[in-house]
Amino acid sequence: MSNTTIEKPYKKTSMGSGGKKVILITYPNPFVEEEAKGLVEAAGYRLVDTITQKKLSHQQYGIGTGKAAEVRDLVEEKKTQMVIIDERLSSSQAHNLAKFTHQEVIDRERLILDIFNSRATTTEAKLQVKLAELKYEIPRAREAVRISLKGEQAGFMGMGEYAVDIKFRALKKQMALVQKKLEDARRRRQLFITSRTRLNIPFVSLAGYTSSGKTTLFNRFVSETKEESPSLFTTLTTTTRGFEPLEGKKVLLSDTVGFISRLPTYMVEAFKSTLEELSYADLILLMIDTSEPTESIQIKFQSSRQVLEQLHINPVKLLVVLNKIDLVPRDQLQEKLSLFRDLQTISISAKTGEGTKKLRVLICERVFDLHGESQVIDTAVKASPSIDSAV
């Protein structure tokens, strides 16, 4: 095979503290801006300045030409190393802006992939990230070829059509291989599902936006020490443990990967086998961070509902857990509670333990009947594949 490599404007980025100095370009909306900053931080970059613009889908650079000139000056003044645009960019937009500003340019999806990359620890999580990455790269590489054939050479330095063809076939082959490995892992999970179904133990899953406190509650309930952190996407691996909410009432409790707004479908697809855990749950504890402003709560709740819909999850299985009430004044809590009028809710603090006794009772009420038998709603596909299963 040719050893020519595709030179991408979206190179894999370096992680960790002391990372690159970056400029962030995002939308003029406090929620969106905060979240984008959280992503930049989670990826280990040093945010030097933030620029906002209403439209990030201008044809040439994503941002408008006037803004691009502003960015170019800022880059020079602040001696930054990278520009991050909080939107999806095409190969040519990223290439044009990189060329114009003399900076490495990455988009929101590449940023999320970089965080995923740094967090993936298990083989399956790594495969899922790889699949998402290939799904991200293939269409962009294709576009880069089109530009290069027009003589613009967007990243295909010196590659002839034949070499490009080989490169594509290699990427496709790699994708097929990753998909096959993931399919094998999925099949193994199915075997666990069958054995777990035989045990007839209800399966309870924690779901919700990243940083809502899923792992904190999980650790409290099952006496674990999994990493909890204000950083986004701390958990990328599903862990399941046996848990007795009340004496003699055993369930399986699972902690999963968090959601984020504007998560592209192909990323949800790539993480399907992890997220699929949720479709086997008899009860889903949908965690909400109530310490946030009402608008953020609404957006995050909607995003979470959308992901659950994409996974064809029956809303009947939801129990909305309003977390972090230790940070919320009582009068504000009432107002926030009213956002979920049509759903069953419970207010807790995973950190202080407030409300968690009541939550234990509610869990039992939802998954056991009065005689102590499990009363799962959907017994056809029930329980998660494995105890301690990695993604």
Ligand X SMILES: Nc1nc2c(ncn2[C@@H]2O[C@H](COP(=O)(O)OP(=O)(O)OP(=O)(O)O)[C@@H](O)[C@H]2O)c(=O)[nH]1
The answer to the question of residue 103 lying near Mg ion (CB under 5 A) is no
Site for ligand X in 151-210 (CB under 6 A): 210
The answer to the question of residue 326 lying near ligand X (CB under 6 A) is yes
State in angstroms the smallest separation of the CB of 117 from Mg ion: 17
Query: Do residues 388 and 241 lie in contact, with contact meaning Cβ atoms separated by under 8 Å?
Result: yes
Q: What are residue 209's DSSP bridge partners? A: 259
Give the max Cα distance, the chain: 74
Among 323, 345, 374, 389, binds ligand X (CB under 6 A): 323
66 binds, among Mg ion, ligand X, none (CB under 5 to 8 A by kind): none
What is the rounded CA–CA span in Å between residue 250 and residue 155? 56
The answer to the question of residue 349 lying near ligand X (CB under 6 A) is yes
The answer to the question of residue 81 lying near ligand X (CB under 6 A) is no
Query: Do residues 368 and 202 lie in contact, with contact meaning Cβ atoms separated by under 8 Å?
Result: yes
The answer to the question of residue 212 lying near ligand X (CB under 6 A) is yes
The answer to the question of residue 235 lying near Mg ion (CB under 5 A) is yes
The answer to the question of residue 134 lying near ligand X (CB under 6 A) is no
246: CB partners within 8 A, 6+ apart: 360, 361, 364
Concatenating the DSSP letter of every residue in 137-168 gives HHHHHHHHHHHHHTT--SS-TT--HHHHHHHH
What is the rounded CA–CA span in Å between residue 268 and residue 242? 27
Could you identify the residue written with the tokens 């986004």? 232
The answer to the question of residue 67 lying near ligand X (CB under 6 A) is no
Q: 281-320 mask for ligand X (x: CB under 6 A)?
A: ----------------------------------------
Among 215, 239, 273, 274, binds Mg ion (CB under 5 A): 215
- Point out which span in 192-200, 228-236, 272-280, 305-313 binds Mg ion (CB under 5 A): 228-236
What is the rounded CA–CA span in Å between residue 374 and residue 251? 9
343 binds, among Mg ion, ligand X, none (CB under 5 to 8 A by kind): none
Q: What are residue 116's DSSP bridge partners? A: none
The site for ligand X (CB under 6 A) is made up of 210-216, 228-230, 232-235, 258, 323-324, 326-327, 349-351
